[in-house]
Amino acid sequence: MLKVPHVTSYLTEHFAEDAFGTLAGYEKKGGYAAARKALTEMAPGDVIELVKASGLQGRGGAGFNTGLKWSFMPADSDVPKYLVCNADESEPGSFKDRILLERSPHQLLEGILIAAYAVGACTTFIYIRGEYSFPADQVERAVAEAYDQGHLGPNVLGSGFRHDVVVHRGAGAYICGEETGLLESLEGKKGQPRKKPPFPAQVGAFGMPTTVNNVETFCHVPYIVNRGAEWFRGFGTEASPGTTLFGVSGHVVKPGLFELPLGTPLSEIVFEHAGGIAGGRKVKGVIPGGMSMPILPAGQLDVPMANESLRERGTMLGTGGIMVMDETTCMVRVGCVISYFFRDESCGQCTQCREGTGWLNKIMNRIERGAGQSEDLGVLLDIAAKMEGQTICAFADAAAWPVQGLLRHFRADFEEHVRLGRCPFTASFEL
Amino acid sequence: MPTLTVDGRVIETAEGKSILEALDDAGLLMNGVDVPHYCWHPKLSVDGSCRLCQVEVEGFPKLQIACNTVVQDGMVVNTTSDRVRKAREGVVELLLINHPLDCPICDQAGECKLQDYAFDYGVEKSRTREPRRAAKKRVDLGPTIVFDQERCILCRRCVRFCDEVPKTRELAVFGRGDRSVIETFPGMELDNPYSMNVADICPVGALTTKDFRFKIRVWFLEDVEGLCTGCANGCNIYLGIANNKVYRYQPRRNDDVNETWMCDAGRLSYRDIGAPDRLQYAYVRDATGSLEAAGYEAAIGAAARRLRAIIGSKGAGVIAGVASAHATNEDLFTFRRFIEALGTETSGVAVPKGDADDLLIKAEKAANAAGARALGLGDASLVADRIRSGGIDALVCLGSDFLGTGLLANVEELAGLDTVIVLDTHKSEFSRVAHVILPTRHAAEKHGTLTNAAGRVQRLRAAVEPAYEAHPDGAVLSHLGKALGLPGFDGSYDVRAVSKALAESEPAFSGIHLDSVGDRGRVLIDPDASQRDREPEGPNL
Amino acid sequence: MISTGTRSKIEAEMERYPQKRGALLPALYLVQAEHGYVSSDTVRELAEIMGLHPVEVMEVVTFYNLFFDRPQPRHHASVCTNLPCSLRGARVLLAQLEEHVGSKVGEPTDDGRLVLGHEECLGACAFAPMMRVDDAYHEDLDLEHAKSILDALE
């Protein structure tokens, strides 16, 4: 089935056309013009300044200013510098990068070329999660085409800039989406995140200065170069410019991908674009940005989907993966599923994460079984507090936040399980 | 020099040091400033994963791990705040939820960092109602170590040790998340010359040595500072003593000598102390040619009579002396005086040799070869040559190394001597040719100093008393000297006085004696002059 | 034994990385494609080729979901059971498939044809329920469709 967004904008405008995935088809739509412009008419520093000015935020979950991140790379360097494309998309609820890889690999490569030129990287490693076989094939095919046409290699687009791309497939570990876990994995090791400092811009892939950006982040770059920072700022909010790809899943009529400006109200996405709740039921809660992000209750869906506004509601944009749950949903079961995932995927380095994820999961399961006690709710929150902000990487936070969110907004569900000694949500999704 | 303030205490440190290193260098870590830690070890790379050493650093919103936070000049650190305490409680509680809590049957109980910190930071009652993780209880990792996966807290000290110190890489963490386990590669063993150190650095009872397992509860043990005498490195150790018995050696940190490590062979050499082949009596060969146990005084008398007879008939020049490189500086100083007083010119020291590596293990398999050289004792090959050429009628030999160092083809080469007197700790082949055998004390049973391969003079303490009459070599020589009427020998042996006399007489030892070397030892003066030949063997592989 | 063909592919992979260890994941895919799993003997051999210690290879094998350290059935069919898929009936589907093939999750069928599994999110959230059969995704599944996919496996 063709994976085409239900709502498109500049990034996904041509996604219905298969040819857009080929070099010729992509160039026909103006592809690689931005790379030509950057590599031949702009100084690397100007590219960084332009992207900074655009306000582009990383689309991998943390939302850091992309141009600023690029500026951390040493300008002068005796050693090779690397760029890494994080295509290890594994955040539950997220599938936008997969569609970008499948439908527009050249759009990604063009963004990579511009970024590589800006930071002075000689090689880009595209780290694609192991399960994404088809997307990886598409990227490898596009890379081969690009080499063939001189868009990669010793003299990119005739500009004299040399650049190589290596496609690297992961092997099934969520933690490799964390940028230093990814670097370890790229180096042939277990994907265990590194202590920081040093940061990747100083000591990254294979010990060299490295910048890691998400697939979608790269894809925005050619449009910024072509059309300017002001144009880009015409989309989205003051603090969060541009469009992004919202992935909507769960109990909606029309699940799918939606390219919309940042700041679009969550209720608009769920009820207008995604067609509302299936079966005429009511919404109960929505996870707004991938599973790591705390859930929002039905009453808070007016929130604009941008970090600055979501933070005020105690959650974040994350990867823009929106999971919608209807009124039948048992939030303890949701907690079981979420905590199982984080238990399964913890790399196991840090005490709090290795032990805390398992403990959270065991308590969730016990409450769902009907063997919960009223103290358990406090213990859950206490474990989450002990995990949050205390570990090498943000995985433990990502495991703690959803638990906090569920108990903040759906404590009654938990209390009801404890009180009745069973799960009262007979119509809920099955575990 | 960056300066940091920890809990109001100002500490100077070198550039690039972490907070924990700065505290450790200042001698304050867990000794004035408590920053508990599991994965950090002063001699291993930083892991940063146990998260126990989190402290507050001014200017950082989050707690920082002290092991990986490099000191910046003016840094202000708080290790006692509520936030820090809560973080520690969190780590300890989370480690305990899957820990078996089998302290009553755990060998580590009493020296377990989890037990200690659970006491200091633990919640009073475990809040977990969940079943604990089940794992393998008695994994035989190799010839020396047994592993309990349930007790393991995954600090990875053992993994890093094998990677970084012997560089043998036997151990790794397999799996992911809470299914992570430390294991060897299928079919491979943890088997390297330093393997037992992993039991020392394991903060819990996960790794235990087969040798020490279930022998005694550690709280019955008294740790006495001492030295390993297995080779010329002079590794600093604790002797674990109970009821006048040595149960184990463990390395004692001395960054100038052995850091925090020791080799397995040296560690297991404690077994020599109470070995069944210790010499518990003196022996004298009777008129029928049979070697019989004898009282110590009688044996000294017999030895003196034989030597006096030889001196009377042929002069002292036909007597040879062989010293032991196991003997202390004080023993050897007394030996030298003994030889000089006798008036013979044939003496030397026998030094056993073996394999060496570039870590700790030295080729010279005796603790004081360098001391012997510093005292001017030459190689015992001179003695062997003169015996072979027929110029020697009597031999006074300290220890049995003279037999095992290849200087003699076999013990029968000594069969033709009129008199063979041996001072030794253990039974040996000498029993076939010796006329008098006098029991001596093991290094663990006497005070004194030893000079290691690097010329460092270190303190030896009597940790246990032999259960039978045995004296240090120096005392035996003193008794023998008195019995022979040698000038300067009154039969007394005050090791402290001998050590000071040595320090006054020998320029290399100037000011260096038993009471002045301190915990970490002192290097000989002008080692170029006195130590020209030190550590003559390269790695002998 | 790693074949000479695979060995030369591994050596080519090693050339693509600034440090040859970077080629470990690709190399493990290659040996797994050849043998179906990565045995400890294969690990030793691969470690030798790549200049690594066997435990360095083994810990990588055991860390990642897509590497297997023991023989595998001919096919892996894994239903995603993460939240978006569970909300759309993935766990019910998986239970029905267990019944259909007569084997529980994680237990290979007696004929060694297939093992059912469950996966965490595979990036098909809007196309749930879905399953990954070997390298291929099958999305927007219903029970009949899923059964027919499994039945078609050799």
pLDDT digit string, tens, across residues A198-232 = 999 999 999 999 999 999 999 999 999 999 999 99
Global pTM reads: 0.94
Is residue A170 classed as helix, strand or coil in its secondary structure? coil
Same domain, A206 and A288: no
Same domain, A208 and A255: no
Which one has a higher pLDDT value, B527 or A168? A168
Q: Determine contact: B179 vs chain A, CB below 8 A.
A: yes
Residue B497 token pair? 């006085």
- The answer to whether C25 contacts A131, with C-beta atoms less than 8 Å apart, is no
* pLDDT confidence bin for B528, thresholds 50/70/90: low
* A383 contacts on B by Cβ (under 8 Å): 94
- The answer to whether C58 contacts B185, with C-beta atoms less than 8 Å apart, is yes
- Cα of B47 to nearest chain A Cα, Å: 8
Over the range B111-149, which residues count as b (16 or more CB within 10 Å of their CB) and which as e?
A: bbbbbbbbeebbeeeebbeeeeeebeeebebbebbbbbb
Same domain, A268 and A212: no
Same domain, A385 and A410: yes
- Cα of A189 to nearest chain B Cα, Å: 12
Residue (of B275, B278, B280, B246) closest to B469 by Cα position: B280
Size of interface A-B (CB pairs under 8 A): 89
Residue B326 token pair? 């196991």
Same domain, A385 and A345: yes
Same domain, A118 and A77: yes
- Total domains present in chain A: 3
Give the amino acid at B25: D
H or E stretch covering A57: none
The predicted complex's ipTM stands at: 0.97
Q: What is the mean pLDDT of residues B443-449?
A: 97
Domain boundary among A326, A342, A368: A326
Residue among C18, C24, C65 minimizing CB distance to A172: C65
- The answer to whether B169 contacts C56, with C-beta atoms less than 8 Å apart, is yes
| Residue A200 and residue A179 in contact, taking contact as beta carbons nearer than 8 Å | yes
pLDDT of residue B254: 96
Residue (of A86, A43, A71) closest to A201 by Cα position: A71
Give residue for tokens 């959803």. A402
| Residue A193 and residue C33 in contact, taking contact as beta carbons nearer than 8 Å | no
- The answer to whether A351 contacts B50, with C-beta atoms less than 8 Å apart, is yes
Q: Report the CATH fold assignment for C4-63.
A: Arc Repressor Mutant, subunit A (1.10.10)
A11 within some domain: no
Q: Which CATH number is A249's domain given?
A: 3.10.20.600
B270-288 per-position pLDDT tens digit = 999 999 999 999 999 999 9
* B63 contacts on A by Cβ (under 8 Å): 389-390
Q: Which CATH number is A215's domain given?
A: 3.40.50.11540
B interface toward C at CB cutoff 8 Å? 169-176, 184-188
- Residue A160, sorted as left (phi over 0), alpha (psi -120 to 50) or beta, turns out to be left
| Residue A170 and residue A128 in contact, taking contact as beta carbons nearer than 8 Å | yes
Q: What is the mean pLDDT of residues B442-460?
A: 97
A112 within some domain: yes
Residue (of B179, A246, A53, B40) closest to C65 by Cα position: B179
First-to-final CA distance of chain A: 28
The bridge status of strand B291-294 relative to strand A82-87 is unpaired
List, in sequence order, every residue forming a beta bridge with B439; answer none if it has no partner. Answer: B424
Domain boundary among A306, A326, A346: A326
Neighbouring chains of B at 3+ CB pairs within 8 Å? A, C
| Residue A332 and residue A414 in contact, taking contact as beta carbons nearer than 8 Å | yes
- Any idea what DSSP says for residue B318? G
* A357 contacts on B by Cβ (under 8 Å): 177-178
Q: Report the C-alpha dihedral over residues A161, A164, A165, A168, rounded to 10 degrees.
A: -150
* A318 contacts on C by Cβ (under 8 Å): none
* C82 contacts on A by Cβ (under 8 Å): 92, 291, 337, 341
| Domain hosting residue A322, numbered range | 243-326
A10 within some domain: no
Question: Which residue ranges in chain A fall short of pLDDT 50?
Answer: none
Residue A31 token pair? 């592809």
Residue B268 token pair? 């297991």
Give residue for tokens 């919202």. A246
- The answer to whether A323 contacts C83, with C-beta atoms less than 8 Å apart, is yes
- Cα of A80 to nearest chain B Cα, Å: 25
Contacts of A390 (CB under 8 A, 6+ apart): A350, A352, A396, B51, B54, B62, B63, B87, B90
- The answer to whether C40 contacts B186, with C-beta atoms less than 8 Å apart, is yes
Chain C residue with minimal CA distance to A173?
A: C64
Q: What is the mean pLDDT of residues B32-42?
A: 96
B530-B533-B536 Cα angle (round to 5) = 150
Q: How far is CA B202 from CA A258, B51, B169, B185, in A?
A: 53, 16, 16, 20
A347 within some domain: yes
| Residue B236 and residue B458 in contact, taking contact as beta carbons nearer than 8 Å | yes
Same domain, A321 and A335: no
Whether B534 has a pLDDT exceeding 50, the answer reads: no
Give CA–CA dist C65/A170, Å, rounded. 10
Domain boundary among A297, A326, A355: A326
| Residue B508 and residue B366 in contact, taking contact as beta carbons nearer than 8 Å | no
Q: Which CATH number is A339's domain given?
A: 1.20.1440.230
Give CA–CA dist A355/B99, Å, rounded. 11
A137 within some domain: yes
Neighbouring chains of C at 3+ CB pairs within 8 Å? A, B
Q: What is the mean pLDDT of residues B200-223?
A: 93
Same domain, A76 and A219: yes
Give CA–CA dist A109/A215, Å, rounded. 10
A226 within some domain: yes
Give CA–CA dist A104/A98, Å, rounded. 10
Residue C128 backbone dihedrals phi, psi, to 5 degrees = -85, 155
Give the amino acid at B37: H
Give CA–CA dist B397/B335, Å, rounded. 10
C11-36 per-position pLDDT tens digit = 999 999 999 999 999 999 999 999 99
Give residue for tokens 């190394």. B401
Same domain, A226 and A286: no
* B171 contacts on C by Cβ (under 8 Å): 55
Give CA–CA dist B102/B135, Å, rounded. 14
A268 within some domain: yes
H or E stretch covering A424: none
Q: How far is CA B260 from CA A335, B253, B271, in A?
A: 47, 4, 21
* pLDDT confidence bin for B532, thresholds 50/70/90: very low
- For each of the domains in chain B, give its residue range(s) and CATH number, in order of start: 3-80 (3.10.20.740), 282-530 (3.40.50.740)
A9 within some domain: no
Residue B238 backbone dihedrals phi, psi, to 5 degrees = -105, 135
- From the CB of residue B246, how many other CB atoms can be counted at a distance below 10 Å? 22
Residue (of A242, A325, A230, A231) closest to A285 by Cα position: A325
Q: Determine contact: A358 vs chain B, CB below 8 A.
A: yes
pLDDT of residue B127: 81
Give CA–CA dist A273/A254, Å, rounded. 8
H or E stretch covering A312: helix A307-312
List, in sequence order, every residue forming a beta bridge with B226; answer none if it has no partner. Answer: B237
Whether B538 has a pLDDT exceeding 50, the answer reads: no
Same domain, A166 and A74: yes
List, in sequence order, every residue forming a beta bridge with A264; answer none if it has no partner. Answer: none
Residue (of A275, A331, A324) closest to A301 by Cα position: A324
pLDDT of residue A2: 58
Give CA–CA dist A76/A120, Å, rounded. 9
| Ranges for all domains in chain C classified under CATH 3.40.30.10 | 75-151
B109-131 per-position pLDDT tens digit = 888 998 888 888 876 567 888 88
Residue among A343, A362, A386 minimizing CB distance to B177: A343
| Ranges for all domains in chain C classified under CATH 1.10.10 | 4-63
Residue (of B323, B348, B301) closest to B479 by Cα position: B301
Residue to substitute from B91, B123, B129, B180, interface A, most A β-carbons within 10 A: B129
Give CA–CA dist C59/A53, Å, rounded. 44
- Cα of B142 to nearest chain C Cα, Å: 16
Give CA–CA dist A317/B339, Å, rounded. 89
Q: In what order do the strands lie in the sheet with B236-242?
A: B222-227, B236-242, B245-251
Residue to substitute from B185, B191, B192, interface C, most C β-carbons within 10 A: B185
First-to-final CA distance of chain C: 26
Q: What is the 3-state secondary structure (H, E, C) of B374-410?
A: HCCCCECHHHHHHHHCCCCCEEEEECCHHHHCCCCCC
| Residue A324 and residue A286 in contact, taking contact as beta carbons nearer than 8 Å | yes
Residue to substitute from C88, C125, C137, interface A, most A β-carbons within 10 A: C125
Residue B268 backbone dihedrals phi, psi, to 5 degrees = -80, -5
Question: Which residue ranges in chain C fall short of pLDDT 70?
Answer: none
Residue among B169, B174, B175 minimizing CB distance to C53: B169
- Which CATH superfamily does the domain covering C75-151 fall into? Glutaredoxin (3.40.30.10)
Contacts of A135 (CB under 8 A, 6+ apart): A87, A98, A101, A102, A128
Residue (of A299, A324, A293, A297) closest to A311 by Cα position: A293
